[in-house]
Amino acid sequence: MNPAQQYTLLKSFYAQFGYAPVHIKSFERFVEDKMPRIAKSTEIAPKVTIPGYKSISIKIDSVKLGKPEIREKDGTIRLLYPMECRIRDLTYSAPIIANVSFIGDGEKLKQEEVVIGELPVIVRSKYCNLYGMSRENLINKAREDPDDPGGYFIINGTERLIMTTEDLAPNKIVVTKSTQEGIEYSARIYADAGSIKLPHTIIMAKNGQFYITLGVFKKLHVMALVKVLGINNKEDVISFTNAPEKAKWILEANWIEADKEEKEILEHFSKSSGISKKRSIYSGLDNFLLPFLGQDSKSRVSKAIYILYAVGRILRHWVEGTEDDRDSYSNKRVHAEDYNLEIIFSTSMKALAKDAANAFNDIVQKQKKLPPAQYIFSQSVLVRRLLSSISTGIWPGSRTGVTEQLSRGSFYDTLSYLRRVKSLITSNRENSSARVLHGTHYGRLCIIETPEDASVGLVKNLATLAYIVSDVENKERDQVEKLLKDEGVKLR
């Protein structure tokens, strides 16, 4: 390919996708898919009710994002543009508009539209006021550089960027040899079911016994858990693992260790988790054990089969003396705005729901009637939490450095920042394998651009023509599952 052809290819690629498609498309996916789903699943349950009704609940039916606007001191409202935010130290954000229903004893009493907060908007996304503008209007009306790539927020006049990060793929079993004392092998599963993100660890101890840890459930015996979940036949257990013949004696030993009555098993779970009631133990397992397989009692057997499959994976690696390659990009995923905003928006909506329920209780106790929706939703709850996280880069779970100030040293420096991919491994850790160029990086990541300091190999850049695609949407996934079931595919 000669230089003229290369230039044509590059020009065509960036004309179609832009310079910052990772950030812009990911933000739009959050607004169109994840934000409505989180808002609709938010439960607002006041403790008091109005006369004539036994209970009142408040439901968010739908949400949408408006356009960035500014209200001046004289009361006028007009469109807001990024350049004005940079000059006046403003935040480039748009109102989150919700349709809210008040439900009394299952009957919809009224529905209102109300602004529940504001969401910072990424420059050049379809929710930005610059979207669709001609070069002339960008220059003369918006006072913008028509070649600016966008892909960043403006918070109090400062350009902030959510850093694209790489992490182990969610809902996938990754088996590795363990360096911890008393442990032979371990399998990590980063369970991700929307608002519930919980790592699971299945270990094979030196004595051959298998244990699983997730959240408050610490070191539960795997075979005991499988029995509680509904598989009580030893032959079925061995079959579901599909373990090598050389390793089946280990399964026999584990079955003997866990051969106790359900009552004793549940008592052991109670001591491990601190949960005393049988119903609460089952509820905890339904909600937090492998939540991507379901969160009700119907999914228990499927979860047991999945755990046994993971045990079989560990035994096969143990027999062969191998392990999964954690550094392969087949075992990793790249997270951008939709993933990170989902985390902070979920926790913010829980705080908003609690605040709204308390405000409803206070008003109803005084007035004995339904208040207007605008009186119970405080916009400052969402605004304060979202702005604080994006402006500082501090996220729930004590994660830091999620956002950084966009570098404007040169145009190419800005492009490099927008296409940067960071590892979650801290730079002070001596992890040589994570820093080495891997075969699966070819065509995806630049093999040259990386810092020369302690972050070498941990901070990478997307290849020139690399483009990140999203996970299969829920609707498409359901269609695929239906086709597989229609063809007679069964879960093992």
* pLDDT block averages, 10 residues each, the chain of length 492: 87 85 93 93 90 91 95 88 96 96 91 95 96 94 93 96 92 92 94 86 95 88 91 90 92 86 72 74 88 90 94 95 92 91 93 94 90 92 94 88 93 92 82 86 91 89 86 61 76 50
In CATH, what number is assigned to the domain containing residue 232? 3.90.1110.10
**Residue 454, domain member (yes or no):** no
Please count the structural domains in the chain. Answer: 2
**CA 309 to CA 313: how far, in whole Å?**
6
**CA 104 to CA 45: how far, in whole Å?**
11
**Residue 287, domain member (yes or no):** yes
At position 261, the amino acid (one-letter code) is E
Same domain, 81 and 189: no
Helix (H/G/I), strand (E/B), else coil: 335: strand
Same domain, 341 and 378: yes
CB 110, CB 374: distance < 8 Å: no
Q: Maximum Cα–Cα distance for the chain, whole Å? A: 81
**Residue 140, domain member (yes or no):** yes
CB 121, CB 92: distance < 8 Å: yes
**Residue 235, domain member (yes or no):** yes
- Phi, psi (deg, nearest 5) at residue 163: -75, 135
Helix (H/G/I), strand (E/B), else coil: 291: helix
Same domain, 133 and 193: no
**Residue 443, domain member (yes or no):** no
Same domain, 357 and 418: yes
Q: How far is CA 11 from CA 43, 144, 146, 327, 464, in A?
A: 48, 21, 16, 32, 12
Same domain, 400 and 324: no
Q: Which of 424, 450, 483 is the last residue of a domain?
A: 424
Q: Whole domain around residue 325: which residue ranges?
A: 173-329
Same domain, 106 and 244: no
Q: Tell me the whole-structure pTM to 2 decimals.
A: 0.86
**Residue 281, domain member (yes or no):** yes
**CA 20 to CA 414: how far, in whole Å?**
10
Same domain, 319 and 364: no
Q: Which of 394, 409, 424 is the last residue of a domain?
A: 424
Q: Judging by DSSP bridges, how do beta strands 183-193 and 196-205 pair with one another?
A: antiparallel
Q: Which residues contact 64 (CB under 8 A, 6 or more apart)?
A: 36, 96, 97
**Residue 469, domain member (yes or no):** no
**Residue 99, domain member (yes or no):** yes
Nearest to 166, CA basis, from 398, 337, 422: 422
The whole-number pLDDT of residue 188 equals 95
* Exposure class string for 303-341: b at 16+ Cβ within 10 A, else e: bbbbbbbbbbbbbbbbeeeebbeebebeebbbbbbbbbb
CB 459, CB 445: distance < 8 Å: no
**CA 261 to CA 228: how far, in whole Å?**
9
Same domain, 190 and 303: yes
**CA 370 to CA 62: how far, in whole Å?**
20
Long-range contacts of 354-360, Cβ-Cβ distance < 8 Å, separation of 24 or more: 355/381, 356/44, 356/58, 357/44, 357/45, 357/46, 357/47, 357/58, 360/44, 360/46, 360/48, 360/56, 360/58
Residue 480: count of CB within 10 angstroms of its CB: 10
Same domain, 109 and 223: no
Same domain, 304 and 407: no
Same domain, 301 and 399: no
> Beta strands of 21-127 (E only): which ranges?
56-65, 69-71, 77-79, 93-104, 107-120
Same domain, 157 and 24: yes
Q: Which of 394, 424, 454 is the last residue of a domain?
A: 424
